Chain A
Amino acid sequence: GAVVSQHPSRVICKSGTSVKIECRSLDFQATTMFWYRQFPKQSLMLMATSNEGSKATYEQGVEKDKFLINHASLTLSTLTVTSAHPEDSSFYICSAPSVSGTQNTEAFFGQGTRLTVV
């Protein structure tokens, strides 16, 4: 099946710094990438949808200036957590549909990034 690679898998950063998370589709082109956040013992919550070559679409309540998303190519999307605070500590997961723009596709997930802000 298709592979989505996400890096880093774990990162610890100081409050006030920024952290970049990369998500790559290794064997297919992903014009769309979804970014999720998973709090401990909770489900995945969609944060935003990134589209190659255009601005990301953010879900209600997600600060676009804090969570910067860039989808510069068909195989790479990045999420930057700016001025991170301890409450941003979470598990971030990216996902890409195997075929963009159609309904009957499954999504492939990255390995996830556990962010700890100290």
Chain B
Amino acid sequence: AQSVSQHNHHVILSEAASLELGCNYSYGGTVNLFWYVQYPGQHLQLLLKYFSGDPLVKGIKGFEAEFIKSKFSFNLRKPSVQWSDTAEYFCAVKSKAAGNKLTFGGGTRVLVKP
């Protein structure tokens, strides 16, 4: 069975600080990896995704993530956060072996102080 682990439950940082959110998954086969963001009161939005190819993936709003297969990791980064990045971030994994179902990590609440 596939599973996803996000290391930090809460992150508080100031504007212009750099952000890195950890994500590890357990499934060893071919996977698709995603980062979703949920702004307060809004629905989930896709930040970025990895299917294949370049392991460094660029997403929207200045986010990027790096797929490191040997570490089963897909960490999310942003060099300089803004107050508007305050949200909850979810890492998710999907695999054909698991019926193409998305499995989510526990989420990380990010609070950016102005």
Contact = CB atoms under 8 A, between A and B. Distances in A.
B90 A103 contact: no
B3 to A, nearest CB: 11
Interface residues on B, range: 20 to 34
A87 interface: no
Given A42-B107, A43-B107, A104-B32, A109 B43 contact: yes
Contact of A93 (B34, B44, B101, B105): B44
B73 interface: no
Given A93-B43, A93-B44, A109-B43, A103 B94 contact: yes
Contacts, number: 49
A67 interface: no
A50 to B, nearest CB: 12
Contacts of B51: 104
A43 B105 contact: yes
Contacts of B99: 49
A90 to B, nearest CB: 15
A43 B100 contact: no
Contacts of A95: 44, 102
17 contacts: A34-B102, A42-B106, A42-B107, A43-B107, A44-B90, A44-B104, A46-B103, A49-B101, A93-B43, A97-B100, A103-B30, A103-B32, A103-B96, A104-B52, A106-B49, A109-B44, A110-B43
For the complex of A and B, 10 pairs with smallest distance between CB atoms: A109-B44, A111-B43, A43-B106, A43-B104, A104-B51, A44-B104, A103-B96, A43-B107, A109-B43, A112-B43
Interface of B: 30, 32, 34, 36, 42-46, 49, 51-52, 90, 94-96, 99-107, 109
